[in-house]
């Protein structure tokens, strides 16, 4: 059970954890299920993931070999949910499988996929682990620009479900390409698909066909009525 908890904190699947620690998939599953105890080679591989061997075997001490928790980051801006410089944490200096970064997760800040929801606290209360090289080479983005929040509502079904975690690039505040964005309207956040139209117009689309699209004049954004907080670049969904 302890190993499963550590893997969840690292944001890895069982397959990924097994591969990165040099353990067979079946053997790793046995360690998580408690059917077998890791031997010396397996423990060495798990330590390379950053897991504290003493904690793994006895439950004592810190879960990871490097400090994991720092003061929770905030979304900083002139208004509470405008784009800001969310900080990131480094969980370990380096491992054999690469460096991991904890991106801030704001469970109380929810973007409504529906008629709109009032957001909660801007304080990050959790984090999820991502490979630094995946962020920089696959997403081609900087960790400092990224923050995680949750979806509320069903208007973006089947793409996004209520409770899904979405990763937002807060530096992408100009709708210069079609995609899914986070919009602020007053004290509400919305997650919508935006499509650029001629004449300075944007079509605001819900993937759920029950909800009708509507049109936004880009000039309204300059007046402060509507603002784009960032673009959604990744989502974690439940089945």
Every domain of the chain and the residues it spans: 2-58, 89-236
Q: Which CATH number fits domain 2-58: 3.40.50.620, 2.60.120.560, 1.10.260.40, 3.40.50.970?
A: 1.10.260.40
Local confidence band at 41 (pLDDT 50, 70, 90 cut-offs): low
- Chain segment 172-202, per-residue pLDDT in tens: 988 888 999 998 887 788 999 999 999 889 9
Sign of the CA dihedral with 118 first, then 124, 129, and 133 last: positive
Asked whether 88 and 104 are in contact (CB, 8 A), the reply is yes
* The pLDDT value given to residue 93: 41
The CATH code for residues 89-236 is: 2.10.109.10
Query: Which residues lie across from 227 on neighbouring strands?
Result: 184
Burial (CB < 10 A; 0-12, 13-18, 19+), residue 151, is buried
Instruction: Read off the pTM.
Output: 0.58
Cα(207)–Cα(178) distance, rounded to whole angstroms?
A: 13
Cα(100)–Cα(92) distance, rounded to whole angstroms?
A: 7
pLDDT of 137 strictly over 80: yes
Q: What is the mean pLDDT of the chain?
A: 76
Burial of 216-230, coded b for 16+ CB within 10 Å and e otherwise, reads bebeebeeeebbbbb
Q: Count of CB atoms within 10 A of residue 125's CB?
A: 13
Local confidence band at 59 (pLDDT 50, 70, 90 cut-offs): confident
Mean pLDDT is highest, among 20-34, 77-91, 208-222, for: 208-222
Radius of gyration over every alpha carbon of the chain, rounded to an integer in angstroms: 20
* The pLDDT value given to residue 119: 45
- Chain segment 7-34, per-residue pLDDT in tens: 777 777 888 888 887 888 888 888 888 7
């Amino acid at each position: 059970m302890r190993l499963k908890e550590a893997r969840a904190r690292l944001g890895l699947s069982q397959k990924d954890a097994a591969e990165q620690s040099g353990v067979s998939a079946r053997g790793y599953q046995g360690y998580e299920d408690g059917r077998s105890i890791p031997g010396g080679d397996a423990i060495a591989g798990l330590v390379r993931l950053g897991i504290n061997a003493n904690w793994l075997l006895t439950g004592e001490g810190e879960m990871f070999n490097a400090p994991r928790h720092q003061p929770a980051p905030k979304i900083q801006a002139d208004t509470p949910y405008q784009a800001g410089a969310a900080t990131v944490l480094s969980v370990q200096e380096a491992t054999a499988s690469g460096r991991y970064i904890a991106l801030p997760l704001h469970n109380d800040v929810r973007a409504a996929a529906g008629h709109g929801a009032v957001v909660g606290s801007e304080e990050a209360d959790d984090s999820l682990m991502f490979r630094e090289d995946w962020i920089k080479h696959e997403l081609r983005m900087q960790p400092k620009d990224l923050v995680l929040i949750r979806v509320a509502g069903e208007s973006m079904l089947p793409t996004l479900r209520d409770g899904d975690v979405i990763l937002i690039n807060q530096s992408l505040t100009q709708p210069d390409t079609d995609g899914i964005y986070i919009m602020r309207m007053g004290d509400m956040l919305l997650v919508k698909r935006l499509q650029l139209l001629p004449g300075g117009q944007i079509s605001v689309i819900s993937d759920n066909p029950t909800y009708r699209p509507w049109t936004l004049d880009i000039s309204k954004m300059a007046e402060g009525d509507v603002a784009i907080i960032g673009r959604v670049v990744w989502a974690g969904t439940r089945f």
